[in-house]
Amino acid sequence: MFGLGHDDPKSIPADELRYDACISYDDKSVKAEGEVVAKSIDGGKYLYHLHKGSYDGLKEKYAQMMSYLIENEIAVADKPTFEDWDFYSC
C-alpha cells in the first residue's frame, strides 16, 4: 500500500486535502474505472524514514525530515510526497 500526498496540511483546509490511496498489483485483468486510475511512481532519490507504532509524533517527524532537507540544501522535485505503508513488517 502506498500514499501520495498532494498538499501541505499546514496551508490547505483538511476537507480540501488531496491524497491518493494506492495499491500495487500485477494482475493485468484489473482495469481502472471511474475514480480508480493506474499511476506509476517515478524513480529517483527519496528521503526515507521508517516509522513504527502509533501516529503520535508523526507530524513532528515530517517536520524533522523537511528541516533536514533545508539544512542540507537538498532540492526536491515538484511532486507529491510518497508514503510506503508496509503494515506487514510493523
Pairing of strands 81-84, 19-22: unpaired
pLDDT in tens, 22-79: 888 887 787 888 888 888 888 888 888 888 878 888 888 888 998 999 999 999 888 8
Q: Structural domain of residue 24, as residue ranges?
A: 2-89
Candidates 28, 30, 4; CA nearest to 18 is 4
The size of the chain, in residues, is 90
Please tell me the pTM assigned to this model: 0.69
Phi-psi region of 39 (alpha: psi -120 to 50; beta: other; left: phi over 0): beta
Total count of domains within the chain: 1
DSSP 29: T
Q: Environment class of residue 50 by beta-carbon count within 10 Å: exposed (0-12), middle (13-18) or buried (19+)?
A: exposed
Which amino acid is present at 39? K
